Amino acid sequence: MTVAAFRPDDERLADAVELIESLGATPVPDPMLAVEPTGDTPRSDADFVVLTSKTGVELASGERGGEGAAPAERWDPGDATVCAIGEPTADILRETGYEVDLVPEEFSSSGLVDALAEDVDGARVEVARSDHGSEVLTDGLEDAGAYVHETILYRLVRPDGAGESAELAAEGDLDAALFTSSLTVEHFLDAAADRGVREDAVAGLAAATVGVIGEPTRETAESLGIDVDVVPERADFEELACATIEDGAPTYTE
């Protein structure tokens, strides 16, 4: 069973490959995201600070460099309530020496809004993330009465050469795909278009098992003509991979 993973070409992709292999499938690593740091850091005068990714934490803490250069100084949250969108982000915050005050039960923008809604009326909320963050978070916090400021820590771009998985899908040789964000869906289709196989790639995905990490990604995929088979209950890559491969496995054991 060939399974495409679209994570950035760092330890996340290496971990994805290892996980897919451990589940008895053949990984097709095809990074659809590359990180371009901006060099900016979260504001230090907020009442609440929201971090939404491992990459954002690494950049804010100075643990990660890149062409945009790491922050000159480590971000200091001061007395702010530090919020992580999910446990993976909370884990890296703790590993880099920060205390985590809040992690929502539902690891999503809407889950974080629900967790903060009763506490942020009149408060200053700093949201530090990529340039493709969901407006669900910022709009939801503003609707709850917060004064929201957004800092773009990094930009997400499509790497040169991405699209091997699109070629395989177009040829009918891809059995499953693991989309971890709306942007990975969009970049997959852009890469397919660049190779002149977009229509065939979408048709190939219809015959494969498509897993997406959450409802926003499902909505994006389906709006662009991709049928979605699996959305795990928890927005976690391991659960996504396990559920998608398990769903697709019966096809290969008949």
- The Cα–Cα gap between 148 and 36 comes to 24
Amino acid at position 5, single letter: A
Indicate the CATH number for domain 2-35+163-248: 3.40.50.10090
What is the residue-wise DSSP string for 115-176? Answer: HHTTT-TT-EEEEEEETT--HHHHHHHHHTT-EEEEEEEEEEEPPTT--HHHHHHHTT---E
- The Cα–Cα gap between 150 and 53 comes to 14
Q: How far is CA 55 from the centre of its chain?
A: 10
**Residue count (the chain):** 254
CA dist 81 → 97, 125, 127 (Å): 15, 9, 12
Residue ranges, comma separated, of all CATH 3.40.50.10090 domains in the chain are 2-35+163-248, 38-157
Scan for tokens 């002149």, then name that residue: 196
Nearest to 187 by CA among 153, 221, 154, 212: 221
Contacts (Cβ under 8 Å, ≥6 apart) of 168: 2, 4, 28, 174, 204
From the CB of residue 15, how many other CB atoms can be counted at a distance below 10 Å? 14
Indicate the CATH number for domain 38-157: 3.40.50.10090
Q: Mind listing the pLDDT tens digit of every residue in the chain (254 residues)?
A: 999 999 989 888 999 999 999 999 999 999 999 989 998 999 989 999 999 998 999 999 987 654 444 445 789 999 999 999 988 899 999 999 999 999 998 878 888 999 999 999 999 999 999 998 888 999 999 999 999 999 999 999 999 999 999 999 999 999 999 999 999 999 999 999 999 999 999 999 999 999 999 888 999 999 999 999 999 988 789 999 999 999 987 544 44
